[in-house]
């Protein structure tokens, strides 16, 4: 049975992580939250994207799961076949978390 999300959990998933735990895009910016990750995925080069996600690794999944702590989003990202699908899944999660956070604010 899935755990129910609380507004506190939603806020934590949307918040900035400490700088040391940032996601460092290869030859690009340091990202501190999933909103920044969503935006970066739309603008980074294919070379940068495939540096982080290829047949050998999925840095996006690892960061979302182990640093952000959002296993549900991490699993959705891991199952995605394309960059556009990853972007859509992150956007959908951001919208859900934002609505939950606002509803209980």
What digits encode the pLDDT tens for the residues 10-24?
Answer: 999 999 999 999 999
The b/e string for 51-68 (b: 16+ C-beta within 10 A; e otherwise) is bbbeeeebebbebbbeeb
Residue with tokens 């899935």: 2
> Taking a C-beta distance cutoff of 8 angstroms, is the pair 37, 65 a contact?
no
Q: pLDDT tens digits, residue range 67-93?
A: 999 999 999 999 999 999 999 999 999
Structure tokens at 102: 């606002």
């Amino acid at each position: 049975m899935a755990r129910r999300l609380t507004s506190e959990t939603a806020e934590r998933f949307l918040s900035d992580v400490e700088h040391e735990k940032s996601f460092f895009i290869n030859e690009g910016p340091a990202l501190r939250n999933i909103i920044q990750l969503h935006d970066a995925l739309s603008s980074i080069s294919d070379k940068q994207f495939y540096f982080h996600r290829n047949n050998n690794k999925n840095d996006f999944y690892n960061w979302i799961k182990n640093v952000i702590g959002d296993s549900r989003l991490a699993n959705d990202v891991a199952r995605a076949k394309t960059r556009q699908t990853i972007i859509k899944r992150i956007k959908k999660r951001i919208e859900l978390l934002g609505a939950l956070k606002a509803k209980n604010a």
